[in-house]
Amino acid sequence: MSRIKLLPETLASQVAAGEVVERPASVVKELVENSIDAGARAIEVGIQRGGMSRIRVVDDGYGMDRDDALLSLERHATSKIASAADLAAINTLGFRGEALPSIASVSRFRLTTREHGAVAGTEILVNGGRIETVRDGGEAPGTQIEVRSLFYNVPARRKFLRSETTETRNIEHQFFLQALAHPAIGFSLVREDKIALQLPITTSLRDRIRDIYGAELLGDLLEISARDRGGVQVRGWIGRAGVSRQTRSQQFVFVNGRAIESGMLSTALREGYHTALMRGQFPITFLFVEVDPREVDVNVHPAKREVRFRDPARVREAVVEAVQRTLESGRPDWQRRFSAPVPGTISPGSEPVERVPSRTPGEITTAPSQAETMGQDSARPSSFGVPHQPASSLPPLGDKGDSRPIEVNRSYLEPPAEPRRDQQFQIIGVLNRLYVLMENSDGLVLVDQHAAHERILFEELRRRMEEQGVPSQRMLLPQIFSLPPRDAEWVEHNVATLQKMGIGIESFGANSFRVDSLPAFLEVADAAGFLCKVIDELKTTSHSSSPLRLGEDMIAKTVCRHAVKANDPLRYPEIEKLIRDLLACDLPYCCPHGRPTMIQISHAELEKKFGRKV
C-alpha cells in the first residue's frame, strides 16, 4: 500500500509559509524589504494589537501592473532574479518569491498597487491563500499591503504568538533594523492608528541613529572611518571603549544592507574590543560590512537572517581591524574630556569660597580673571575646603574652626615642592584609598587607581613583549608538572608564545612540563599551580590563535596581581605619575578587563543632586 500523498495546495502553502512567516515581525520584515526593493522613498508601517490583528505597509515605490500584481502572489514568482548566475550575486533584499504567497496563505490579505503614471491601480483580496477579488483600485501610486488576522487559519502557529507587548517590541526591532540600514528612506510607525515614530529622510547614518535612539547615545559612539581592506568595507558607528550593554540588543550588524546574525562577526567584534569590553557584556555597534555580492551567499537561512562568506577570515580581519582602529581614535577626545584644565572654580554668580594665590601659572588660561584660581596644581585646596598644604593656612569649612572635615587621605597627598609647570589636571585627593579625585572643566573625575595601573602595566608589558620579549626571572628550583592531555597539547602548541611572555617552559615527557623561569614582574609562590590556572583560563577565553593576542590575554590575566591594589596608599608624585601614564596609554579608558578606569560626574549632575537645577 502506498503511504505517500501529495499535500493539498493550500496545506502545502501553509507548511512553506511556516518557514518565512514566524510571527508578525517577520511579516513586517518581508513587506518592508519589498518596499525597499521597489525603490520607495517613504515607507509607513501600521500595526494593531502587536500586528496580530492588522499589519499595513504602505510605500511610494514603483508599484505593479495588474499582471505583476497577480503573479506576485504565486509561489516562486519574483522580479529580482532570473537565473542561477543572479542567485550567485544578490543585490536585492528579496529573491525567493516566497513572501507574498506565504503571508497571503495564512491571513486575510489585501494588496493595492499602482504604477506611477498609470490611470488606475489594482486591488486584490486574498483569504487564506485563495484569491477572492481582483478589481481596479484607486490608491496613490505605490503599493499598500494589509494583513489581517494573521494565522487565523493556522491555530498551531497562533498558539505560539507571545503577548501583544512582546510582538510589538519584535516589530519595532525589525522596523529599526530596516530604518538603520536605509537612512535615505523616510520611515513612519503607526501604532493603533497613532503615529508612534517618524524618521525623516536623511543622508547620514548618524542622524538616523540619533532620531531613533536620541542624541545622548551618540556621545557614547565613535564613527568608524570607512576603509577598504581586501575588498571588504567596514563603516558605521560603535560604542567607545568601556561602553557596553548587558544584552546584544544594541549590537547591529549589516552585510550589504541586510541585518544579519553572525556568530563569526560577533566574535570579530569581541576580538576588536578585546580589553575594552567587560566579560559578559556586549558592545553597541551599528556596523555595516560591504562586500562584493559574489563573495557572500545570502541564500542560507529561511528568513535570510544569516549569510555565508566565501572568505570569512578576510571579513573577520577587516572588522577586527576597523574596531581596534576606531577605539583608539577616541583617545584624543577622551583625553581632552578628562584632562582639560579647570577654567574657574565656582559656577558663575556665586562667590568663590576661598582664594589661594597662584603658585604656578597654569598652562592654559581661559580668561584673565580666572587665571588666579586655576593652574595651581596640587596646592589648590580641595573642594571640601581641605588645603593640601600647608594645612594651617586655611580654615576648614564648617562652623567650628577645629572640626575635621571629610577625610580625603591628606596624609598621602603631599604635593611636590616644585609643582610641574605642564600640569594639566587637578588632583583633589584620594577617596577610600582607591579613587583618585580630580577636577576638570566638566566637573569631578574619579580614577580607579587599581584599574588605571592595570591598564598602564598591560600596555607596557605588551610593548615589551612585542619588542624583545618580557624579561624573565629564573626560579631557584625548576618545577615539573603535568597537565590533562588536551591542555598539554595546547601548551605544546603555544610554547614559543609562552616563552616570549617570559615563561621558561619545556616539554618533560608525556603531558609533563618543566618550568624554570617566570616573567620578572610576577611574584608567585607556586609556579606550577599558577601556570595551570592561567593556562586553563587562556584556553577557554582565547578564541584567537594569534600569538600576539594570546600574549595579550596572558598579560591581562596576570597583570592584576602586580598592579597597585585597591587600598595601597600612594604618595602624591606616584598619583601624578599614574595619571600621566594613564593618559599616555593607547586605550586609557578602561582596564584590560574592560572596566572603566575613570568616570566623570558633571557639574550638571552635581547640580541636579543638590537640587540647584531640575
Binding site for ligand ADP (CB under 6 A): 30, 34-35, 38, 59, 61-64, 72, 77-80, 94-100, 143
Q: Which residue's CB is nearer to ligand ADP, number 111 or number 579?
A: 111
The label of the residue with cell 518557514 reads 19
Q: How far is the CB of 61 from ligand ADP (least distance, A)?
A: 5
Cα end-to-end span (Å), the chain: 81
Amino acid at 26: S
Phi, psi values for residue 189, rounded to 5°? -115, 125
| Residue 271 interacting partner from ligand ADP, Mg ion, none (CB closer than 5 to 8 Å by kind) | none
CB of 13 to Mg ion, least distance (A): 16
The residue of the chain with the least Cβ separation from Mg ion equals 94
Complex with ligand ADP: residue 58 or 199, whichever CB lies closer: 58
Q: Which does 64 bind (CB under 5 to 8 A by kind): Mg ion, ligand ADP, none?
A: ligand ADP
DSSP state of 40: -
Give the helix/strand (H/E) hosting 166: helix 164-181
- Residue whose beta carbon is closest to ligand ADP: 94
Q: ∠ CA(262), CA(270), CA(313), 5° rounding? A: 60
- Which residue lies nearer to ligand ADP by CB, 77 or 488? 77
Q: How far apart are CA 513 and CA 491, in angstroms?
A: 9
In angstroms, the CA 183 to CA 197 distance is 14
Nearer Cβ to Mg ion (55/578): 55
Distance CA 564, CA 449 (A): 7
Q: 187 Cβ partners below 8 Å, 6+ apart?
A: 42, 43, 44, 45, 175, 178, 179, 197, 198, 199
Our CB check for Mg ion shows the closer of 34 and 542 to be 34
Which of ligand ADP, Mg ion, none does 162 bind, CB closer than 5 to 8 A by kind?
Answer: none
59 contact choice in Mg ion, ligand ADP, none (CB below 5 to 8 Å, kind-dependent): ligand ADP
Nearer to ligand ADP, 64 or 436 (CB): 64
Phi then psi for residue 108, to 5 deg, are: -95, 115
Residue 61 interacting entry, from Mg ion, ligand ADP, none, C-beta within 5 to 8 Å by type: ligand ADP
Is there a contact between 366 and 412 (Cβ–Cβ < 8 Å)? no
Binding partner selected for residue 339 from ligand ADP, Mg ion, none, CB under the kind-specific 5 to 8 Å limit = none
State the minimum distance, in angstroms, from the CB of residue 27 to Mg ion.
11
Q: Which does 105 bind (CB under 5 to 8 A by kind): ligand ADP, Mg ion, none?
A: none
Phi-psi region of 195 (alpha: psi -120 to 50; beta: other; left: phi over 0): beta
From the CB of 121, what's the least distance to Mg ion, in Å?
20
Residues that bind Mg ion (CB under 5 A): 34, 94, 99
Closest approach, Cβ 186 to ligand ADP, in A, equals 15
Closest separation between CB of residue 6 and ligand ADP, Å?
Answer: 23
Residues in contact with 340: Cβ distance below 8 Å, sequence separation at least 6, in sequence order: 424, 440, 441, 442
Least CB distance to ligand ADP at residue 19 (A): 13
